[in-house]
Amino acid sequence: MKKIAVVLAGCGVQDGSEIHEATITLLAIQRAGHTYECFAPDKLQYEVVDHTTDETMNEDRNVLTEAARIARGDILPLDDYDPEDYDALIFPGGNGVAKNLFTFAVDGIDCDIDPLVKQVILDTYAEGHPIGAICISPLLVVKAFEDMDVSPTVTLGNVADMAAAVEALGGRHIAKAVDDICVDEANKIVTTPAYIMAKNIGEAAAGIEKLVARVVGMA
């Protein structure tokens, strides 16, 4: 039985983790006979969005507190993550990833990455454990390796702007269908487009389930 760490970025597609992607990930891990532990940074979100209007709200929310909604309260601060205790690491997507874990949604290719998130990715890589990244999260992983002699091969589907961003940050992009995965065997990185391209939860699930199976198989 493998133990998988899943990093969340809040709760809700516009300002946190994409709930469908996160839930499918956890379900796929459990159905495969493995266990998971959820983590999130203990810090304020970049912004709070009203998901009925897509308008920014004048309030503050904490990434860890919001992510606990998805994890049903069973979640740890990202500071507690130790790659030696887990067999793999997976990042679901959502716009909150690109606002709270790195700043791509705000700054584009000039984005910054949260130092703790970067360290978690690099420490996992150094331990030789696989990393899965869904939706926008492949770009987060590429950003973590930007200053290293590592060029991850990832997919964000067949969206030209996303492919260009990957290349600009030093990665290699391969176009894939919504239900497919990209496997970087050398670096043990598995990626899938999910809601970068998916039009419904079923399309998102098809790729995520394949990603979880491959990550677990590499662990």
The answer to whether 135 is a known catalytic residue is yes
How many other β-carbons are positioned within 10 Å of the β-carbon of residue 161? 8
Chain position carrying tokens 């269908």: 177
Catalytic residue among 11, 38, 111, 135, which?
A: 135
> CA-CA distance, 191 to 208, in Å (whole number)?
9
Q: Are strands 55-57 and 75-77 parallel, antiparallel or unpaired?
A: unpaired
> CA-CA distance, 190 to 43, in Å (whole number)?
27
- The SS3 call for residue 38 is strand
User: What phi, psi does 82 have (nearest 5°)?
Assistant: -130, 115
The catalytic residues are: 135
